[in-house]
């Protein structure tokens, strides 16, 4: 069994507001505990630029960073180094450990983040066509064949 860390901000500002005012994450986990079976699930707030609790350092087999958490941190270049160091400090030191990010390019921000990842010694694989349905929609939006998203900008919206 693998130990997985999901980095996510929920619904961005709304999620932060709820987290600041309530113990919603912990409450939701406790009321849904029966659905997790034998798996242990917990929530905590991590700040890229602060030291992480020692009990979670180098313990995760997989880190999954969703569009909400990752795209904002990869967009703002001042977060690149601390996010990269967070990944390296939280992942197990193992050939099998991996971090999975979904993030749009946002100008040169994603490339700058990947450069920082390389500098600290991590390897990455950039996959553009990771799901046939998503890829087909992406292609239709690019060609203007789907009017449901007239202002589609692959650089801003298509997660890699």
What's the pLDDT score for residue 69?
55
What's the pLDDT score for residue 15?
45
Domains plus CATH for the chain?
A: 4-126 (3.40.50.150), 130-160 (no CATH)
Residue 49 sits at the vertex; the CA angle it makes with 48 and 50, to the nearest 5 degrees, is: 95
What's the pLDDT score for residue 32?
66
What's the pLDDT score for residue 5?
85
Q: How many C-beta atoms lie closer than 10 Å to residue 82's C-beta?
A: 15
> Which pLDDT tens digits describe the chain residue by residue (160 residues)?
888 888 865 544 444 444 555 556 666 666 666 666 777 777 777 877 888 989 999 999 998 886 555 555 666 778 888 888 988 999 999 989 999 887 777 778 888 888 999 999 889 998 888 889 988 988 988 888 877 888 888 887 777 7
Is residue 122 within 8 Å of residue 87, measured between CB atoms? yes
pTM higher than the cut 0.85: no
DSSP one-letter string for 87-135:
HHHHB-SSTT-EEEE----TTTHHHHHHHHHHHTT------S---HHHH
What's the pLDDT score for residue 14?
45
What's the pLDDT score for residue 71?
55
Torsion of CA 56, 57, 61, 62, to 10 degrees: 80
- Tell me 52's DSSP state: P
């Amino acid at each position: 069994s693998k130990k997985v860390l999901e980095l996510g901000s929920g619904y961005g500002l709304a999620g932060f507001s709820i987290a600041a005012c309530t113990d919603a994450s912990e409450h939701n986990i406790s009321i849904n505990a029966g659905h997790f079976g034998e798996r242990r699930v917990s929530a905590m707030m991590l700040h890229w630029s602060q030291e992480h609790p020692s009990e979670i350092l180098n313990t995760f087999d997989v880190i999954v960073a969703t569009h909400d958490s990752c795209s904002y941190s990869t967009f703002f270049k001042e977060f690149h180094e601390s996010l990269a160091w967070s990944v390296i400090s939280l992942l197990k030191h193992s050939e099998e450990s991996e971090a999975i990010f979904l993030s749009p390019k946002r100008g040169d921000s994603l490339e700058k983040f990947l450069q920082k990842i390389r500098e600290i010694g991590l390897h990455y694989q950039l996959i553009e066509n990771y799901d046939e349905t998503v890829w087909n929609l992406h292609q239709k939006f690019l060609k203007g064949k789907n009017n449901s998203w007239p202002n589609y900008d692959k650089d801003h919206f298509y997660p890699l």
